[in-house]
Homo-oligomer: A and B are copies of this chain.
Amino acid sequence: MEPATSDRWQAAFFKLRSNKAFELFVIGIIVFSALVIGVKTYPLPETLVQVVGVLDWMITLIFLVEIVIRFLGEPEKKRFFRSGWNVFDTLIVVVSLIPIEDTEMALIGRLIRIFRVLRMVSIIPELRMLLNSLLKALPQLGYVMLMMFIIFYIYAAIGSTFFASINSELWGDIALSLLTLFRVMTFEDWTDVMYETMAVYPFSWAYYLTFIFFTAFAFLNMVIGIVVNVLEEEHQRMAAEEAEAAGEPTLKDLQQEIQELKQLLQSQAAAQK
């Protein structure tokens, strides 16, 4: 039985989207679109602005065609939108297609075009894997991050209670205090902040020093936690690989074989009696 025309088309598109040259072409277009975005940030003569506008639409069109090809090439249409990256790609392209005249909305249109650079991650499998491994590492940090936030919050509450009247721009409310504390954590002109409050509360250096100590210590623990986790996983993966790849028997296997030997000998001895 001959496959239906649509099936043949689907197979053709599937072949096309799996094509290495096609993939490289798409990567090339993404790089080109990134360059166009970069060029647009420079002051350009009127004619070049129009050229860039045309290039922009061409890129959008190529992306549209590419998404359509990838969708038509999908054997099971429903599964296509299960992948977050496909949804992201489609959204970026669809929103790029909406003609925006309003100046407010125009900014959003430019933002969308900038996010097209992220398609690089969606199309290069190694980057996708890297991002996944980064995201997978996040939940492990959950409790350390919560602990750090509690430290930040308590210090911010104390800071805005005592220092709000000294410098309301830095300590005016808890949000500003949180930002100021983040600044202190990055050591960015933190002594200026400290000397200002020390003029009123001479012992406020203790506030900053304990804060720096706590956050540095929590941060260090976070880093060590990640390193240990990564090393442990590596270790287990390697151990598993070695054991499987080499077909290496475990000590338990050896023990069993030795015990079988013993039984053999004992039954032999019993038979000879």
Asked whether any CB of chain B lies closer than 8 Å to the CB of A223, the reply is yes
A255 touches B258 (CB 8 A): no
Q: In the bound complex, how far is the Cα of B217 from the Cα of A234, in angstroms?
A: 19
Q: In the bound complex, how far is the Cα of B37 from the Cα of A255, in angstroms?
A: 65
A228 touches B226 (CB 8 A): no
| A-side interface residues, number (CB < 8 Å) | 88
Q: In the bound complex, how far is the Cα of B142 from the Cα of A127, in angstroms?
A: 10
B259 touches A262 (CB 8 A): no
Q: Is the interface of A mostly helix, strand, loop or mixed?
A: helix
- A65, chain B: closest CB distance, angstroms: 23
What mask results when residues 218 to 243 of chain A are scored 1 for a CB within 8 Å of chain B, else 0? Answer: 10110110111011101100100000
B37 touches A157 (CB 8 A): yes
A-B pairs with beta carbons under 8 Å apart, 15 shown: A41-B177, A42-B173, A107-B162, A130-B144, A130-B221, A133-B221, A220-B223, A220-B226, A228-B230, A247-B252, A249-B252, A250-B251, A251-B254, A257-B262, A268-B268
What is the interface of chain A, defined by CB distance below 8 A to chain B? 34, 37-38, 41-42, 107, 110-111, 114-115, 117-118, 120-121, 126-127, 130-131, 133-134, 137, 143-144, 146-147, 150, 153-154, 157-158, 160-162, 164, 172-174, 177, 179, 182-183, 186-191, 205, 209, 212, 217-218, 220-221, 223-224, 226-228, 230-232, 234-235, 238, 246-255, 257-262, 264-266, 268-269, 271-272
